[in-house]
Amino acid sequence: MSKLRYRNKLQGFISAALLAASPVLHATPFPVEAMFEAEGTAPGAPWVLENEGGNVVSGGAYLSTPADLVRADTPGAAAQLSYPVAVPRDGTYTIWLRVLAPAASAASLYLAVDSAAYASVAVPVPVGQPARWTWVPVTRWLAAGARELKIKYREAGLGIDCLLVTALADFVPQGYGVYPLPTVLPPAGEHPRLFARGGDLAAIRGRFESDAQEMATHRAALTTFIEAPAVVALPLFVPGGPARSNHQTELVSRIKAKALHSLLYEHGFPAAQAPRGREAVQMLLDYLAAVQFAPGYNHPNEKGEVILASAMVYDWCFNLMSAQQRAYVVTRFTQLAATMEIGFPPSRQGAVVGHGSDNQLLRDQLSAAIAFYDEAPLVYNIVAGRFFADYIAPRNYAYAAQAYHQGASYGTVRFLADMYAAWLFRRMGAAPVFDPVQQMMPYHWLYARRPDGQWMRDGDVYHSSYTNSTQYWSEPLAFLLPATYYNNSTLKHEYLKQSLQQSTNFIHTKDSIWPVLLGNTTMGSTPSPAVLPLTKYFPDPAGLMIARTGWTDGERIQVQSGNVIATMKLGGDWFGNHEHYDAGHFQIYYKGGLAIDSGIYSGKDVADPSIPLEYGSAHDMNYHKRTIAHNSMLVYDPGEHFDGYANDGGQRFPGEEPQTLAELANGYKVASVLRQQQVGTEAGAPDFSYIKGDLTAAYSSKVRQFQRSFVFLNLKNADHPAALIVFDKVSASDAGFKKTWLLHSQGEPEISGDTVVIRRTEWDYNHTLQYNGKLINRTLLPANAVLAKVGGSGNEFSVGGTNYAIQPEAEYSTEEAGAWRLEVSPPGPSETDLFLNVMQVMDASSALPALPTTAIDSPLLAGVKIKDRVVLFSKSGLPLDGTVAVELPAQSASMQVLVTDLQAGSWTVSKRGTGGPIEDEVNADGGTLYFIANGGGWYDLRRGAGSTSRAAAALPASPAVP
């Protein structure tokens, strides 16, 4: 096989970057656990230096023997290759050689250690298979000190790339060297260094002993674990039986708690004075010997807990363990880690989303890497090497949005894994590894908190499957860890608030160790969210705005709160995994979910409730994740295909979940925010919250252009608290492709002409809380629109005539799956259509009429007047310039007017037949003009000239990073 064919077969296997960080210094023995280059030694005949390029071999070169040589049946006088290795201690080591054998008949070499005799080493090459680089292990007992590895020629055409000597008996270096060696290193020779150093112990002890209410339950849980019997008695594990493991979470929690006690109260003491530490060590050794997992069972959580406990005992009780015990712990780590989903080396999964973004690497394997660093630096080089190469950039990119792309449930879990990594490096003594905007991510969930204790739905949501209506949705550690890391009192307030609620999960006892290790009982917990602006914009790559009319703080759950919440999601990058195809989606909550996110993530089969329906089910892939389950736009092309799933007329599949940031940049952008602004006269409480985006990229070529604008109106009136206006311009590539505007609801829509009423008046499962919300939607455009409702029993999740049925896992659950949807479509085919829908909310029990809505139409503008507010949009979707004239409806009182889609610059507003004009500045980010109209009549808007009289200022888009 030619070198070119080798290169094509092996492209991308190992980077030269690692070797650039591992200089060739053969005069000095190489350390164990470091990979080094075969070509670093001076070759003599018959060895030849080959240059192959860094994408094929490490270091860009390797040594080979000519293909025409005769096989050497014994080690002859030809020059040997010599590699000195510094062995730290006596023991059994594995010598790994990366070898290329051109054929099964030429697949061996000679190897010797020091003065021992040479022995042949066979390279496994199946007969008839093409040549490929292969790692070949050779096990030898090596005495401590400077040892010499010697290689001699045996077969013609054999190549040698690099070598690695390791004490990790179960380590296979497949993929080792892909990432550069990390430059941020643990403090060598120092213990503790895992989540604590010596200087941290006094503060951690103080928290553990604190009388603060927030610490009481955690101290009690840990004390119970500490004082529990130091006995490991795992259930008998039967291979092939129903149990996938005999792992016991409580036993692992005991081990960690005893190790923590030893760290705090026995650190530096001799073994005789460290009884809890000795218990922790012995329990860990017994546990590692007894725990078993079924073959092929690679779910990472249980194995990660064992690895984390191993790292904590290793680091915190280091002086209480023998070298042999520590070596055993490291060996068991490699055995367990290799069978995790991400593997070891941890290279099987992506670094952007998915299980590769859980605790596997970011907490558990990193913890082990830091703990084992002195004795097994290879583990740190591999794990931290990938962390710094692959994990930081996509997170900092996503953090800029200040909203987590994995939504309400999985977002908190994945973000918590990021925070563990941040704390690991801080407590190790390193500088911050992430952009400090990281601390803004939990504001996504702060703003999405509903008065009934739940979150506005986003992505795959599992909290609703197991929570009762009286329970507060809670993910406390996702707020505590950033609160204490960044000294953020707002997040600390939310953490404490969750601790005071009735919740299914404040902090599980197994996690009581984290408030002690990483909490802060002395920091303040104010201000509450009530001081935050009512609207927050979450920029690219989220493209999201959440607007509220108030904050619900203090009491546990307030279903009758008058606060309105609206989420307006345009979108940005589609990250996949637990994210939906929902660009342009909106939701409205007022005394109940009114405009909702439909479907169930975690439920069960209607026909056979014993069958769970979860991620990837027919309901999930044909309905729940799809555009049809959201309040967005459908454009139905009958010839479109969705990889075998139902044609819902919705948004395209960008691809599999992206593995890297570079992959995310290629085809995963589905929407772009064009304008956003918050306008009004009261700081922090905008009258108008506006966001506009281009969603064309979310669809296939069936859509030539789709722009959507949202304006949320905080009407500041208890009887009619808020309205949401949605304006769309949609152009299809074929006039025959039907366009459908969607609005999902729990209750059946009541249609009367161009108006629809949706009510929420049901009681909760416990019959203690009753919703009382009503939404009224009027469709102003298209003219003569066709309004239809779809749903009802047996048709709740219908796509193309097929109902993808599902039911909640539990009767008491808080699922808000929806049973109905309103579909609004133009009366006939057209390439381009405008949609203008105005939704307002009020009490379902109110005897008052809904606010009247008046359509406004001019050659350039379309809009609506509701109450004392007017909102206008450019019909073309393009920013307007020059002179724009519009007639406002007759009204004796003044009106607040927001004109969108204007070119940046100085604009004047004049009412015909009245005094001087008003002048205001339109900025490029918002493109809006706000003014007070003195009654109805014709108004002329002109760009570029006029007098000077300010109207009102735009409000800040979001709070600054604390």
Q: Which residues are catalytic?
A: 355, 410, 578
Distance CA 237, CA 244 (A): 8
Q: What is the DSSP string of 710-728?
A: EEEEE---SSS-EEEEEEE
Q: Are 776 and 840 in contact (CB under 8 A)?
A: yes
Distance CA 481, CA 414 (A): 13
CB burial string 522-558: b at 16+ within 10 A, e below: eeebeeebeebbbbbbbbbbbbbbbbbbbbbeeeebb
Q: Locate tokens 């061996």: which residue?
A: 108
Distance CA 137, CA 164 (A): 9
Q: Are 355 and 155 in contact (CB under 8 A)?
A: no
Q: State the amino acid at position 344 in one-letter form.
A: F
Q: Are 95 and 165 in contact (CB under 8 A)?
A: yes
Q: Is the peptide bond before 962 cis (omega within 30 degrees of 0)?
A: no
Distance CA 553, CA 533 (A): 14
3-state secondary structure of 374: coil
CB burial string 724-734: b at 16+ within 10 A, e below: bbbbbbbbbbe
3-state secondary structure of 645: strand
Residues in the chain, overall count: 962
Distance CA 746, CA 742 (A): 14
φ, ψ dihedrals at 535, nearest 5° = -120, 140
The gap from C-alpha 468 to its chain's centroid, in whole angstroms, comes to 26
3-state secondary structure of 163: strand
Q: What is the DSSP string of 788-842?
A: EEEESTT-TTEETTEE---EESSTT------SEEEEEE-SS--SEEEEEEEEEEE
Q: Are 356 and 580 in contact (CB under 8 A)?
A: no
What would you measure as the largest C-alpha separation in the chain, in angstroms?
110
User: Is residue 801 exposed (0-12), middle (13-18) or buried (19+ Cβ within 10 Å)?
Assistant: exposed
CB burial string 588-612: b at 16+ within 10 A, e below: bbbbbbbbbbbbbbbbbbeeeeeee
Report the chain's terminal Cα–Cα distance, integer Å: 61
Residues 6 or more apart in contact with residue 169 via CB below 8 angstroms: 92, 94, 331, 334
Handedness of CA 238, 244, 245, 246 (dihedral sign): negative
CA dist list (Å): 782 to 72, 385, 587, 685 = 86, 56, 22, 32
Q: What is the DSSP string of 21-84?
A: TS---TTSPEETT--EEGGGS---TT-EEEE--TTTSGGGEEEE--TTPPP-SS--SSPPEEEE
φ, ψ dihedrals at 215, nearest 5° = -100, -15
Q: Are 77 and 167 in contact (CB under 8 A)?
A: no
CA angle (730, 879, 706) in 5-degree steps: 15
